[in-house]
Amino acid sequence: MIRVVGIGPSRDDMTIRALNAIDEADVIIGYKGYIKHIDDLVKGKKVVSKGMGQELLRAELAVRESKAGKNVVLISSGDPGVFGMANVLFQLMGKYKHLEVEVIPGISAVNFAASILGAPLHDFAVISLSDLLTPLSEIKCKIKKACEGDFVIAFYNPMSKTRKKPFAEALNILQDEMKPSTPVGLVKGKDGGADVKITSLENLPSEEIDMSTIIIVGNSMSYVEDGRMVTPRGYMVPYSLHPLAIEFYEKYLDGEGADGPNLGCEYYPCHHHPQNCTFCYCPFYPCADPSTGGRWIKEKGVWSCEGCTWIHEDKTVQCIQAKLPSIVENIGDLKKKKKELLKLRRECIRNTEC
């Protein structure tokens, strides 16, 4: 039996399954740097430690020991299936008959980094910038497609002392495809913890990035609040319709609303000039999503749209108008169909911000 065991990013993050597998093993095989972190767990066992770059050799040794009737643990950092030893072993398995293999997952570096940054992951892609085994053209293609799909992107192995071009190429693509203000989280592992920084794409400090850094780049809806990086899922916040909002949408549904700048309004411009006043009262209120500039007034528990100008842009209004009439046919639909409205908001953010 070969168990490919993920030991996570640190000793404290190991799972019970991983601990039990190591306890039951006769032979432990792994990169010497990873074995060092669990040396107290492997006393009394046969330990085979090898250097970086000897992944195939480690896998072959695991097969040999298993064929000799031993219970073997093949150690992988993080999760074995995310740029780990499971991929290596399974690539070799076609050479052998009757191999019994179990993969024991661990906490991946991207999950560890995300937990420190806040909640940056929604739909996301994980891409290694190492071009040792992968053509740079393939890496660039993957990054561009991830940007086009508005995925949150996590980068492994971003840059070493001698391998700088893949990161430079990746940064060029990100800057071409994303807003300069897109949040970016950097988590650099170190003994006993991690160095953490949240910045923006335009201020990304390349000089602080190395092979031990995990980079998480947000999507069009990601934001930073109270020192945490967040990519919202779009949950609906309970609320009551304001009487003025009801009055506004009664006129809107009767075709009596403003179209474009309402220069006759005593409050114009309430945000900037020129501004589109078609949705003086936002059909998505309260979105509870700061990515477009809104915020909670914490001492009152009230959602404020004061900082949101997105709803007053012409291209935003055009996107909303294309589908809003099919969703809101009466005042009650502003609450009854709130989930559909919030999905329309996400669609229009992607259409206008990406």
- Whether residues 223 and 322 share a domain: the answer is no
Q: Which of 174, 171, 130, 129 is closest to 152 using CA atoms?
A: 174
Q: How far apart are CA 270 and CA 282, in angstroms?
A: 14
Which of 107, 127, 157 marks a domain boundary? 107
pLDDT of residue 231: 97
- Whether residues 17 and 92 share a domain: the answer is yes
- Whether residues 226 and 114 share a domain: the answer is yes
- Whether residues 156 and 257 share a domain: the answer is no
Q: Which of 224, 222, 193, 6 is closest to 116 using CA atoms?
A: 193
Q: Which residue has the tokens 């998480």?
A: 216
- Whether residues 36 and 72 share a domain: the answer is yes
Q: How far apart are CA 122 and CA 229, in angstroms?
A: 12
- Whether residues 43 and 126 share a domain: the answer is no
Q: Which residues, at least 6 apart from 193, have a Cβ–Cβ distance to it below 8 Å?
A: none
Instruction: Name the band, by pLDDT with cuts 50, 70 and 90, for residue 303.
Output: very high
Q: How many domains does the chain have?
A: 3
- Whether residues 95 and 173 share a domain: the answer is no
Q: How far apart are CA 181 and CA 218, in angstroms?
A: 10
In a domain, 195, yes or no: yes
User: What tokens does 174 get?
Assistant: 């990100």
Strand pairing of 27-31 and 72-76?
A: parallel
pLDDT of residue 130: 95
User: What tokens does 78 get?
Assistant: 């993080």
pLDDT of residue 45: 93
In a domain, 236, yes or no: no
Helix (H, G, I), strand (E, B) or coil at 34: helix
- Whether residues 317 and 216 share a domain: the answer is no
In angstroms, what CA-CA distances link 281 with 74, 158, 249, 275?
59, 45, 8, 14
pLDDT of residue 353: 78
Q: How far apart are CA 351 and CA 353, in angstroms?
A: 6
pLDDT at 192 exceeding the cut of 80: no
Which of 170, 202, 230 marks a domain boundary? 230
- Whether residues 75 and 147 share a domain: the answer is no
Helix (H, G, I), strand (E, B) or coil at 300: coil
Q: How far apart are CA 154 and CA 113, in angstroms?
A: 9
Helix (H) or strand (E) run with residue 55 in it: helix 55-67
In a domain, 34, yes or no: yes
Neighbouring-strand partners of residue 74: 4, 29
- For the entire predicted model, the pTM comes to 0.90
Average pLDDT, the chain: 93
- Whether residues 116 and 186 share a domain: the answer is yes
- Whether residues 213 and 251 share a domain: the answer is no
Buried b (16+ CB within 10 A) or exposed e, 19-42: eebbeebebbbbbeebbebbeebb
Q: How far apart are CA 327 and CA 340, in angstroms?
A: 7
For 136-178, the pLDDT digits (tens) are 999 999 999 999 999 999 999 999 989 999 999 999 999 999 9
pLDDT at 191 exceeding the cut of 70: no
In a domain, 75, yes or no: yes
Q: Which of 182, 114, 189 is closest to 158 using CA atoms?
A: 189
In a domain, 235, yes or no: no
Range of the domain at 25: 2-107
For residue 132, the domain's CATH number is 3.30.950.10
- Whether residues 165 and 252 share a domain: the answer is no
In a domain, 238, yes or no: no
For 75-133, the pLDDT digits (tens) are 999 999 999 999 999 999 888 888 999 999 999 999 999 999 999 999 999 999 999 98
Q: How far apart are CA 34 and CA 5, in angstroms?
A: 11
For 242-301, the pLDDT digits (tens) are 999 999 999 999 988 778 898 888 888 888 889 999 999 999 999 999 999 999 999 999
Q: How many CA atoms lie within 13 A of 230 on its CB side?
A: 14
Q: How far apart are CA 283 and CA 321, in angstroms?
A: 11
Which of 77, 107, 137 marks a domain boundary? 107
Q: Please give the average per-residue pLDDT across 197-204, as a whole number.
A: 96
For residue 43, the domain's CATH number is 3.40.1010.10
In a domain, 342, yes or no: yes
Q: Which residues, at least 6 apart from 23, have a Cβ–Cβ distance to it below 8 Å?
A: 41
Q: Which residues, at least 6 apart from 286, have a Cβ–Cβ distance to it below 8 Å?
A: 237, 239, 294, 303
pLDDT of residue 256: 85
In a domain, 289, yes or no: yes
